[in-house]
Structure 1
Amino acid sequence: MFGDRHLIVVDLGFGDAGKGATVDWLCSAEAALDVSAVVRFNGGAQAAHNVVARGRHHTFRQFGSGTLSGVPTLLSRHMLVEPLALAAEARALSELGVAEPLSLLSVDERALLTTPIHGAANRCREDARGTSRHGSCGIGIGETAAYALTHDAPRVADCRRPEVLRRKLIALEEHYGALLAQGSHEYDAIDDLVDMYREFAGAVAILPDDRLAGFAAAGRLVFEGAQGVLLDEWRGLHPHTTWSTVEPRHARNMLSRIGEPASVLGVTRGYLTRHGAGPFPSEDPALSIPEPHNDTGRYQGAFRLGHLDPILLRYAIAACGGIDGLAVNHLDALADVRTTTGYMTADGFLDSIECGPWRDLDHQRRLTELLAGATPVLADLPRDIPRYLEETLGVPVVLTADGPDRSARTVRVAAAA
């Protein structure tokens, strides 16, 4: 599948499966795939894609995970852009030896802005939920998307129009006034935000549209997804989901407009993880697997571990409309891991779950309720995990990893001619 023109990388779980490490390898000299750009097609600054390469570690949030190899990033119109976090990430990349990181960045002017006002409102809302939190990262992603549904929301283009941006920020602050008054989460003054965003506009390439055709003409594109399909706003286990379309719909649509083909590469660990609240049928608190780059977050909640779950993986593949290949990570950490062959539920024994119609939140709520009470039926994990997954999921495993470093990745199927 690496011979196909472009690649779309999606996480088939609840996130944290190794998308960033996979994209880093695809963009590296070791892969030799002639990648011209990494395109971020969903999510925002809540992403945390950990990459370890040649002694360097970075947690990619908005920059594409090909940055350590000097591959440019395009933040598409579907991204929620947080300029202050981008500036901080650029400084961190500079300290790792990346020359002028912001020069590698292009941003679609139509992308929504996530501001500190959104973030403060997000944290106030989650605080009010108490023990019933949804599992937010507390950055303001959901507030950004929700506000834009009914209001004239701040967008990247406004960073070049100070008076327009100031008006929109004042309206945003007034909209959240009552909610913000319930908490003590501070944020920068509006005039200071306008000044900082104007500096951002002068430091990055802001494009009047996604200019995807130009990037595609220069070489292969790698579309880097954020979060996981099981958190998708329309396919995930509602309400413990993200305000973002995680499955590859947007990436496919972007490519279809320029008439370019792509293959979808699904990413999973050899076991499952979940960060924060929500159903997790194969969860096992007795599993003890070192996790150096993920921890409990104040708003996101605990980092949870569970056994391999082909049932959820098949569901995610169906939610993607099918995939073309699998990347399987963390194969070095499976000593106590087993595999899920079914669930005991209120509806009896199930070894599959239905992927309902797109945007059918009633179906997703019923699925959430069903899986919240499910007990996994476990079996020993076969020795050859890639072959087991191929037989169980019906998809070829093309890339494996038995460690966190870029050098731990192995191509399992030869690249197409």
Structure 2
Amino acid sequence: MPVTVVVGAQWGDEGKAKIIDLLSKEHTYVVRYQGGHNAGHTVVVDGEKYALQLVPSGVLYDHVIPVIANGVVVDLPTLFHEIDMLESRGISCADLKVSSRAHLIFPWHQAHDAIAEAMRGDDKIGTTLKGIGPAYADKARRVGVRVGEVVDLDHFAETVRARAIAENLVIVQAGEEPLDVDEIVERFVEFGRRLQPYVADTVTLLHDALAQGSQVLLEGAQATFLDLDHGTYPYVTSSNPTAGGACAGSGLGPRDIDRIVGITKAYTTRVGAGPFPTELLDADGDTLIDVGKEFGTVTGRRRRAGWLDCVMLRQAVRLNSLTELALTKLDILDGFDEVKVCTGYRLDGQAIDYYPDRSDILARVEPVYETLSGWKTDLSGARERGQLPPAAQEFLAIVEREVGVPVNVVGVGAERDDYLLWTA
């Protein structure tokens, strides 16, 4: 299969990096196609943790060429911090390619992010304040600065200065202190000089790679229900993490894609505000958070947690044309006496089996659960289907029945090799 897409099937933090790392073994190019440094992908190798925000997770393999594609917004301080971290630990980033069409994030984007969030008062979105949304807004307004502009540093400096001066007017009008224009220009010209060797026409690169028979893996950030169009708006990200966004964000066409893997936890989490039908505000929710270490890779924020929601997973299958699921963190449920799976909703007392299209309606639904006995067994050593206890096997069977696609991979621990293949 020449092109595989990996997409989160919930609200993010599903453990995509673990599955991307697994699939990277058989791919030559691993491509990040949207988002920015507001999403963290964590891979654990031999007890060492690699927390990545921009560089694709496949960089940990020598044979992989990592690509940051045109749909990404790039924060250069974060990118170079990440490159330096990886290379200090023996991971080469020499083959990294950054699309000339990708847009850059600047300090004024972060300033606008903070101003807008403060103005929302009690109705905050829960943004990470990384400047992602304002950078995408500039892209849509056609005033953004693209990576390819660093090839001509004199022109790049002029562009950055003009944009910084213009944005300072807005920042001052909002009552904030102006940014230091000269400092920004000087710093970003140096970043631009360092970025030059990585700049590439990644669309041509990827099409040439397919023509030569290479395998390409497209890696999304965030997840389906944070999608700008299909998520729980307005509590969403500023791009399209869904599989459709993989085409726009990479320059590859729909017919190039053969396999679309949706990643889900064995339970559900989300960060920030927004409706959450299966959220647990009790001891079980606290246990999921504590045992699952549900704290953001990027922000450190405590996540919200609840039982697995198969209604939203069915919607994720539809929106992404998922060919399969990879289910992570099954081991986090090891200690529960009972495990629940949401198989439907009730709205105003009436049963519904669809995912509402409005966040205010989603906030009103009540989950309908199927309850299983817990397996009360440590799953971390399981490497084959038959090593799972019957109750855990029943859990996976319910997921497949409710969602309509096979579960092919099951994660049972944090380490790179803590997984088993479920579908025979």
Match of 1:83 in 2: 76
Q: How many angstroms apart in 2 are the aligned matches of 1:51 and 1:166? A: 37
Given the alignment of the two structures, is residue 5 of structure 1 paired with residue 21 of structure 2, yes or no? no
Match of 1:393 in 2: 403
Match of 2:17 in 1: 20
Taking structure 1 as the reference length, the TM-score comes to 0.86
1:251 to 222, 229, 246: 246
Do 1:43 and 1:79's aligned partners in 2 also have CA atoms closer than 8 Å? Answer: yes
Match of 1:404 in 2: 414
Match of 1:359 in 2: none
Match of 1:350 in 2: 352
Match of 1:369 in 2: 360
Given the alignment of the two structures, is residue 204 of structure 1 paired with residue 195 of structure 2, yes or no? no
Aligned letter for 1:349?
A
Deviation at residue 277 of structure 1 after TM alignment = 0.8
SS in 1 for 2:351: strand
Given the alignment of the two structures, is residue 94 of structure 1 paired with residue 87 of structure 2, yes or no? yes
The correspondence of residues 90-239 of structure 1 with structure 2, limited to 5 A, is 90-99=83-92, 101=93, 103-173=94-164, 174-175=166-167, 177-179=169-171, 181-183=174-176, 189-207=183-201, 209-216=203-210, 217=212, 219-239=214-234
Q: How many angstroms apart in 2 are the aligned matches of 1:297 and 1:82? A: 14
Aligned letter for 2:48?
R
Query: Are residues 232 and 347 of structure 1, via their aligned partners in 2, closer, same or farther at CA, if it must alter by over 3 Å?
Result: farther
Do 1:77 and 1:210's aligned partners in 2 also have CA atoms closer than 8 Å? Answer: no
Do 1:83 and 1:200's aligned partners in 2 also have CA atoms closer than 8 Å? Answer: no
Match of 1:339 in 2: 341
Aligned letter for 2:132?
I
Do 1:296 and 1:302's aligned partners in 2 also have CA atoms closer than 8 Å? Answer: no
Q: How many angstroms apart in 2 are the aligned matches of 1:293 and 1:374? A: 25
Do 2:343 and 2:402's aligned partners in 1 also have CA atoms closer than 8 Å? Answer: no
Q: How many angstroms apart in 2 are the aligned matches of 1:238 and 1:314? A: 19
Do 2:55 and 2:66's aligned partners in 1 also have CA atoms closer than 8 Å? Answer: yes
Do 1:332 and 1:403's aligned partners in 2 also have CA atoms closer than 8 Å? Answer: yes
Q: Deviations over 1:52-94 (max 9, x none)?
A: 1122211111111111122221111111112211000111112
Do 2:21 and 2:57's aligned partners in 1 also have CA atoms closer than 8 Å? Answer: yes
Deviation at residue 386 of structure 1 after TM alignment = 2.2
Q: Bigger shift: 220-229 or 156-165?
A: 156-165
SS in 1 for 2:331: coil
Q: Bigger shift: 149-158 or 221-230?
A: 149-158
Deviation at residue 260 of structure 1 after TM alignment = 3.1
SS in 2 for 1:352: coil
Q: How many angstroms apart in 1 are the aligned matches of 2:194 and 2:45? A: 28
Query: Are residues 408 and 205 of structure 1, via their aligned partners in 2, closer, same or farther at CA, if it must alter by over 3 Å?
Result: same
Q: How many angstroms apart in 2 are the aligned matches of 1:166 and 1:259? A: 40
Give the gaps of 5 or more residues in structure 1: 355-363
Match of 1:357 in 2: none
Deviation at residue 153 of structure 1 after TM alignment = 1.2
Report the RMSD for the aligned CA atoms in angstroms.
2.5
Q: How many angstroms apart in 2 are the aligned matches of 1:234 and 1:211? A: 29
Aligned letter for 1:22?
I
Given the alignment of the two structures, is residue 240 of structure 1 paired with residue 235 of structure 2, yes or no? yes
Match of 1:274 in 2: 270
Do 2:41 and 2:53's aligned partners in 1 also have CA atoms closer than 8 Å? Answer: yes
Do 2:32 and 2:69's aligned partners in 1 also have CA atoms closer than 8 Å? Answer: yes
Q: Deviations over 1:325-363 (max 9, x none)?
A: 110000001144411133333473323225xxxxxxxxx
Q: How many angstroms apart in 1 are the aligned matches of 2:202 and 2:354? A: 45
Query: Are residues 323 and 22 of structure 1, via their aligned partners in 2, closer, same or farther at CA, if it must alter by over 3 Å?
Result: same
Deviation at residue 317 of structure 1 after TM alignment = 1.5
Q: Deviations over 1:215-262 (max 9, x none)?
A: 332521111111010010000011001111111113346575496342
Query: Are residues 350 and 109 of structure 1, via their aligned partners in 2, closer, same or farther at CA, if it must alter by over 3 Å?
Result: same
Deviation at residue 297 of structure 1 after TM alignment = 7.7
Query: Are residues 20 and 183 of structure 1, via their aligned partners in 2, closer, same or farther at CA, if it must alter by over 3 Å?
Result: farther
Q: Bigger shift: 274-283 or 248-257?
A: 248-257
Match of 2:55 in 1: 63
Give the gaps of 5 or more residues in structure 2: 374-390
SS in 2 for 1:66: helix
Report the identity percentage. Answer: 26
**What is the number of residues matched between the two proteins?**
391
Query: Are residues 329 and 95 of structure 1, via their aligned partners in 2, closer, same or farther at CA, if it must alter by over 3 Å?
Result: same
